[in-house]
Structure formats: structure tokens, C-alpha cells
Homo-oligomer: A and B are copies of this chain.
Amino acid sequence: MTSSNDAHNIGRSTSCNPSNNNHNVDDSRINMDSRQSQVEVHHVRLPPDVSTLQKLKNKLSEIFFPDDPFFRVKNHSFGGKLLFGFQYFIPVLKWLPKYKFKMFRSDLISGITIASLAIPQGISYAKLAGLPPIIGLYSSFVPPLIYAVLGSSRHLGVGPVSIASLVMGTMLSESISPINEQELYLKLAFSATFFAGMLQAALGLFRLGFLIDFLSKPTLVGFMAGAAIIVSMQQLKGLLGIVHFTPKMQVVPVMSSVFGHTKESARRPKLFWISAAAPLTSVIISTTLVYFLKSKMTQVKYIGKLPKGINPSSKNLLIFRGPHLSLAIKTGIITGILSLTEGIAVGRTFASMENYQIDGNKEMLAIGIMNLCGSCASCYVTTGAFSRSALNFVSGAKSAISNVVMAVTVLVTLLFLMPLFYYTPNAILSSIIIVAVISLVDIGAAIHLWKTDKIDFIAFLCAFFGVLFISVPVGLAVSVGVSVLRILLNATRPNTTQLGKLPGTQIYQCFARYEQALRLPSFLIIGIESPIYFTNATYMLERMLRWVREEDERIESLNNPPLRCVILDLSAVTAIDASGIDALCELKRVLDRKSLQLVLVNPPGAVVEKLHKSKTLESFMLSGLYLTVGEAIADISSTWKM
């Protein structure tokens, strides 16, 4: 990085043409201009000359390759690069050759462990999505195998997740009845999964992963809480109905309260065992109970016969035309984005715990291909699930082999154990669902948002009430809108502060925070805390004039020496556009008419460059541009004394 580039010099003592390549290496030289001041002044410099094309390239590479995924191949031969390319897109090629039998023991244990969670969860979540229970098991078989080949996370446990399941269930059942039009519903679910996969793979392939960052934390917290409440209400209705018929089933609320602890333990991975074992245990206990008491409990609804055998092909069920296509696409987009958000976040969390990095965009590609394949093999939307991944992590998984073990366990279940689920009561599935979704209501996070940031809290409320009372897409859109508006608002009415000098230092800080800061007679020092864009250029101009007016009034009331110089500290003005430049020029004109000097201090590179290109810089060249507030004041004061 030791740059020998052609950074330009701009300063009082250099020629009027700032684009000369006159390097000024002895930065500490004394200002030698006609005023003969003895103040040490450092020159503000232009950033190095970079062509527009190069700039575009840099900008694009920051947008699409912020994590510099190919940094490892920089100094490799072509063969090395090719090998790296293969390994990059198919990570199994990289880690499988180094795989050791010792690791397999850990993976075997954790694979069987997550399967014990995955089987009851799969059945329940499929029900949540309005699908036959068997689809949940299918979705825990094929996708984990594909992820094991393409995924780069060692701990991600793949399968259906509650959020995507409930969104799919909510969105599809608004138009189609999952009971009366079961076949169409199934077709739409697979088609939505296909489009979700398409979207995910496209985002990953074109490295547009940053778009999912637009779902901010408040939006997600609000959305999940709202969605969880909707689902709980639905499921609770079912539960209460059963309770009404058979008072003996009071066991369900009790078990439900047992599950209530899941939420807390999910935050403490060490205790995750208990909560993770709960679904399977309760399924086993309740199924056994129903089996033995079935003559007495005639009102209890249970799953009934499930088909044996592995995933049938669903390729012919995909819909690419007709009146329901738009519903499938819409559902696919929203479930795709939400499941992607969860998968990437979970992957990043566990990668950061074990101190390795995963490439978000590549993960998206892996998840997308997984869903594309899944949609052709009777699976609905799957992703990296938080609960399974946490379980995978605490049970000691070493690689994606644990996903393979889980898939094989599910395969065995599909082939031989399906009859065992015949008597599993629907109520127990409802309670598994309620427990899963209730843990999505994160009241602590909501309180935290309220305390730290009111606008974040509003975005949270929009997502929460929007999803609860209007619809999933509207709630999400309004909440994202609020978050974006906040950025714009910050760029519309930025903060400006008056700075003073901390005694005995060269530090200039705002009066509001540092009451010991000193005013300098005849100087008004203003810090602008935002880029100057068209949205705030007029405001900035008016606000600066108001600062000047207020300072004039203060000076008048105190009989202080009159104002002579206005210093703008531009350190935080990280960008400027055409309107901003116009506003600065207008400010200079107005202050000129009032015989006030306008000085710019420490403009960042991008701003100096714009000022230079628009020929505005020239008007500031003669003692109107300094690197620090201290140097500006010293230099300008020295000229006044003469």
C-alpha cells in the first residue's frame, strides 16, 4: 500500500491549477506565501488520479466482492486457480480428501441427534405449511445431501424451518384451500419452492447477496413476532377444540408448558440437549399413549397412514403458466428471501463461533440449488435451520457429513418406520409448532430496540402489526420502507454542531458535549455531520446562515469582537453531489457579501475531487482550505495581526 501514486497538491502556496502533479513530500514545510506568516500549514491534497473506469471497477468489486473471495489464489498458477475454482464452487472436493475417520464418529453422533429433532419437526412444519406430513420428511432427506456437497458451513443443519413454512402456509392458503384443493396446493408449494431456489441461486450467482441486508434486525424481529402470533392462534384453535372434546387431554397444555422452556435454552446452546430432545420424546410418549388408550380417546385425531418409500419425483407438478403462477412466484420470492436470511445468519453465527468465514454469496448459491433440486423431489423450501444447527454444533459436528448421517437416518425412517407415526396425535404436532413459533417472539429484542433506537422500534412495530393485521408482504415492505426512510431522513436533516477548542490542545469538539470547550473570538466553527446531497443542500445553506445569524446576535449581546471567519469542518461530509456544490458556492457568495471569510477544513478525498472537478476548489484555494481546524485558525489569525 506504500503509494507512489500522483496525489495532487492543493494549497495556498502551490500554483492555481490544482491538477499539476507537483508532489509535495516535505509536508511540514512552512507556509511561504506573501503573508509571510510563520504558521505551519499542511496542504489538503486531491486523491490520486483514478480513471472513471477504474473507479467503477473498484466500486463494483466492493459491491459484489466485498469479502474478496478469491484472495487465496492471487499468487497461484493457472492450474492452481482452476483447482481452486472447482473447490470454491463444490466445497466437498476441498474437505472430503482431508476427512478423517476420527471426525466421522463425531459426525455420526451429531447426525443421529439432529435427525431425532428433524423427524418430528419436519412432520410438524409441513403441517404448518399446510402440506401432508410426509413432505416434511422428504424435505429432510434430499436437501441435506445436496448441501453436504455444495455448502461450506460445517455446522449448518439443513431442513424445513418454521418461518418459511408459516409464510408459505399463510400466503398460499389465502387463495387456495390446503384441504379442498390439496393437489393444486401441493403443486403451488413445489412451484414456490422452485422459484425460491431460482431467486436464491440467482442472488448468489450474481453476488447480489447484499440485498438481503435490507431486511434489518427490527424488521425481522417484528415480522417473526407477528407471524408467530398468527400461527399460534391458528394452532391453538385446534388445540382448544380437542381440549373441549376430551377433558382428559389436559396433558397437552402441561407438555406445552414443558416446551415453554425451549425458548430460554435455545439461547444457551449447552442446555440445548433438553429442548432438542423434547419433540421426539413427546411424540414417542403421546403416540404410545394414544396407541394404548385409543379405544377410550375416540375424539383424538392422529396422523394416520403415511406412505412408505423415498421421495417421489415432483418435476411434473411444477407450474409455469396459468392463473396461479403469480401466486407461486410471489410466495417463492418471499419464502426464498426469508429462508435465505435465516440460513445465512445461522451459517455466519456458527462460523464466527468456530473462527472460520463463510462466503455469503456462495452459500446462497448452495441453498438455491438445494431448493431447485428439492422442488423436483417432493421437498418444499428448506434452509439452514437455527434449532438443528445449534444442536449440530453442541453435539460436536465436524463437517457436513453430519447432514449426510441425518439424511440416511431420515431415509431409514421413510423406508421402515413410517407405520410408527400412525397414532401420533395431531395435537402434539400443533404443540410442537406453537413452541417453535412462540420462541420467535423476542420481547427482549423489542425492548432493546425501544431503548436504543426509536426509529428502529417503529420499523419493528410496522413489521409486527403489518404482518399481523394486513399481510406478510405489506408488513415487510412497510418496515423496510421505514428503515430506508430513516437513512434518507438522516440525509435530509443532518446534525450540525458548533465546535470549540479544548483548552491546552488542538482538539476541536462540540460545545454541547464538552462544556469546557473555548470559543475563539471572530471565528465560528461548524461541524457538518452528513454528506451534502440534493435532499439537504437547501437545508444546509439555510442552517449555516442561521448559525451565522445566531452567532451575530450572541456577539452583539455580549459586545464581543465581530465575526470575521466561518470555518466548516467537513471531516464527516463523506460525499457531495451537484446540488451540494451549488449550495457551498451560494454560501460563499452570501458570506462574501457580508464580508465574512468561508474556510473548508479536512474535506475527504471524494469531496475534494468533486470540488476540484466542478472548478469550485479554485475559489477556496487562497486561504480557504486547510487540513485541520487548528492550522486554519492559526494561519488566518496570523494574517489578521498584521
Contacts and interface: CB of A to CB of B under 8 A. Distances in A.
Interface of A: 1-5, 7, 23, 25, 27-28, 42, 45-48, 52, 56, 59, 62-63, 66-68, 71, 210, 213-214, 216-218, 352, 355, 357, 360, 448-449, 451-456, 483-484, 486-495, 497-498, 502-507, 509-516, 529-531, 533-539, 542-543, 545-546, 549, 554, 571-572, 574-575, 577-579, 581-582, 586, 589-590, 593, 604-606, 610, 613-614, 627-628
A56 B454 CA distance: 10
B513 A546 contact: no
A7 B514 contact: yes
Given A535-B214, A539-B210, A574-B494, A514 B45 contact: yes
A483 to B, nearest CB: 6
Q: How many monomers of this chain does the complex have?
A: 2
User: Top 5 nearest A-B pairs by Cβ distance?
Assistant: A216-B534, A529-B574, A572-B572, A452-B614, A28-B504
Given A27-B516, A217-B534, A507-B627, 19 more contacts: A5-B515, A7-B512, A27-B505, A28-B503, A66-B539, A66-B546, A213-B534, A213-B537, A216-B577, A218-B578, A452-B610, A452-B614, A456-B577, A484-B488, A494-B574, A495-B574, A507-B628, A513-B605, A529-B604
Contacts of A546: 66-68, 71
Given A214-B535, A495-B574, A539-B210, A605 B452 contact: no
Contact of A614 (B68, B448, B513, B574): B448
9 contacts: A1-B498, A1-B554, A2-B511, A63-B493, A67-B542, A483-B533, A507-B628, A529-B574, A572-B604
Contacts of A1: 498, 511, 554
Nearest to A594: B355
B5 A512 contact: yes
Contacts of A360: 538
B456 A48 contact: no
Given A529-B604, A543-B66, A513 B45 contact: yes
Contacts of A506: 506
A510 B605 CA distance: 9
Given A2-B515, A507-B628, A538 B210 contact: yes
A68 B539 CA distance: 11
B451 A3 contact: no
Given A538-B210, A574-B530, A493 B605 contact: no
Contacts of A63: 489, 492-493
Contact of A513 (B7, B218, B543): B7
